[in-house]
Amino acid sequence: MDAHTDKMASEEDATVVEPLDLIRLSLEERVYVKLKGERELRGKLHAYDQHLNIILGEVEETITTLEIDDETYEEIVKTQKRVIPYLFVRGDAVILISPPLRK
C-alpha cells in the first residue's frame, strides 16, 4: 500500500494542471521574477505559495528608472542592482515568474 501511495504521490508531482504547477517545475532552479515598481529579481526558487509569496536565494535585484533630461528631454534608462543572499518576497507585488530569459 505504501508503494502504491508513493507512486501516486510522484505521479501527482509530475502532473501539470494549473499555472501554479508550472512554478513547481522551477523549484530549486533559477527563476526570473518581475515585480511592480519596475523591479526584477533573478534568483534560486526555494519556496512559494498560492499567493505567490516567494523565498529566493542568491538573488540579484534590478531596479529600472527612467530619467528625463531637463534640457534635451531625452529619456535616460538607469538601472540599480544589488545582491541579497536570502529574500522573502510578498506575493502581492509579483507580476510574473519565469525561467531565466536567455538573450
Partner 1 sequence: MLFYSYFKTLVGKEVTVELKNDLSIAGKLQSVDQFLNIKLNAIRIVNETRYPHMKSVQNCFIRGSVIRYVHLPPEGVDLDLLHDATRREARGA
Whether 99 and 32 have beta carbons less than 8 Å apart is answered as: yes
Question: Identity (one letter) of the amino acid at 92?
Answer: D
Q: Which of 12, 29, 38, 67 binds partner 1 (CB under 8 A)?
A: 12
For 91, phi and psi rounded to 5 degrees?
A: -65, -25
Shortest spacing between CB 17 and partner 1, in angstroms: 11
Shortest spacing between CB 85 and partner 1, in angstroms: 5
**Binding status of residue 26 toward partner 1 by CB under 8 A:** no
Give the CA angle between residues 79, 81, 84 to the nearest 5°: 160
**Binding status of residue 90 toward partner 1 by CB under 8 A:** yes
Question: Identity (one letter) of the amino acid at 67?
Answer: E
Residues that bind partner 1 (CB under 8 A): 9, 12-13, 20-21, 23-24, 27-28, 46-50, 53, 55, 57, 84-90, 92-93
